[in-house]
Amino acid sequence: MKKSDFHYELPPELIAQAPLAQRSASRLLVVPPLPAAREDRVFSDLPQMLQPGDLLVFNDTRVIPARLFGQKSTGGRVEILIERLLGGSEARAQLGVSKSPKEGARIALDAGGEAEVLGREGEFYRLRFHVPESLEQWLLHAGRLPLPPYIQREPGHDDAERYQTVFAREVGAVAAPTAGLHFDEELLERLRERGVQFGHVTLHVGAGTFQPVRADHLDQHVMHSEWLNVGAGLVEQIRRTRAAGGRVIAVGTTVVRALESAIRLNRDADGELRPFAGETRLFILPGYQIRSVDALITNFHLPESTLLMLVSAFAGKEQVFSAYEHAIAERYRFFSYGDAMLLWPQAS
């Protein structure tokens, strides 16, 4: 397969630049197995489409204010986008600079303190921060929220709350698991009343999620690495749900990636879901059989992106692209602050 196989034309005015006033007021395009017809719904209708005993699996990662600005000793400006907190005062980051700094260089930060360059690891730099608090705490007031590059504005006060899910708790992401942004407390309570169960994985979404696929042939693409944790409690929840005839519904592609990685990368899994914590570079393309979930709630993704490829693997490329054509014709809102889809796998 080629990158161009996953291209589509999107009118730029359909890229959502801000969230709606109410999270669950987004539109929801329901894509069932053929020959059933698609439905144009509202996200708050979700409880009507689920059954008692179904299990929604969320990604509970929390976005950190990961964007910083500073100046090199030579006077050049530097933009820092933290990719991952490494413990203590160190972090892995992307640097926006006119000339790459050398090991030992110091960056004076606009928010106070310094960042010391410890070395380079591919496209990322390892930095040590000299700041008066723990790095995680310092970033809460010194960093800026890293809105995606297709949102053409600076983050505002509302973004600090709206670019987090209401169930975010594990600090470490630099991008939100955006399918979860449609859930508010009122909708969660209605789902509980319906008898729907909730479970959580943690996958810290990295800045690599916005990096374009550069290889024309997808077998040459090197997937970015992300850290995940699939706990024993969730594994048992999924086992009980399936045993009772319930369905497992992933809220977002990151949940699918986490669960499939736990199956593929755990040496003790034997093809079954087992607890797993660690790094994943799993690249899911059409032809890959996703077995960990029965349905997928997801936003609309960028052309030629690895997320669009994962969605196509789950529901079938032809069906997904047909749904995207429909969404464009019906003026759905795209990407992080946009509308959502509820996808069911196509019958084989």
**Which of 13-22, 72-81, 210-219 tops mean pLDDT?**
13-22
Give the rounded distance of the alpha carbon of 255 from its chain centre: 8
In the prediction, which pLDDT does 217 show? 96
In the prediction, which pLDDT does 72 show? 93
Q: Encode burial over 154-163: b for 16+ CB neighbours within 10 A, e otherwise.
A: ebeeebeebb
More confident residue, 214 or 55: 55
In the prediction, which pLDDT does 78 show? 96
Average pLDDT score over residue span 337-346: 96
Model confidence at 199, in pLDDT bands (50, 70, 90)?
A: very high
In the prediction, which pLDDT does 39 show? 97
Question: What is the percent of the chain with per-residue pLDDT over 90, rounded to a whole number?
Answer: 88
End-to-end CA distance of the chain, in Å? 20
Mean pLDDT over all residues of the chain? 94
pLDDT digits 0-9 by tens, 152-198: 999 998 999 999 999 999 999 999 999 999 999 999 999 999 999 99
Asked if the model's pLDDT at residue 268 lies above 80, the reply is no
Alpha carbons 268 and 271: distance in angstroms, whole number = 9
In the prediction, which pLDDT does 150 show? 94
Average pLDDT score over residue span 215-222: 93
Model confidence at 229, in pLDDT bands (50, 70, 90)?
A: very high
More confident residue, 348 or 112: 112
Measure Cα distances from 344 to 36, 223, 250 in Å: 11, 25, 11
Average pLDDT score over residue span 31-40: 92
Residue type, 331: R
In the prediction, which pLDDT does 123 show? 84
In the prediction, which pLDDT does 269 show? 56
pLDDT digits 0-9 by tens, 287-338: 999 999 999 999 999 999 999 999 999 999 999 999 999 999 999 999 999 9
Model confidence at 211, in pLDDT bands (50, 70, 90)?
A: confident
Alpha carbons 78 and 125: distance in angstroms, whole number = 13
Asked if the model's pLDDT at residue 267 lies above 70, the reply is no
pLDDT digits 0-9 by tens, 100-138: 899 999 999 999 999 999 999 888 999 999 999 999 999
In the prediction, which pLDDT does 316 show? 95
Q: What is the 3-state secondary structure (H, E, C) of 226-281?
A: EEEEECHHHHHHHHHHHHCCCCEEEECHHHHHHHHHHHHHCCCCCCCCCCEEEEEC
Domains of the chain with bracketed CATH: 3-63+160-343 (3.40.1780.10), 67-142 (2.40.10.240)
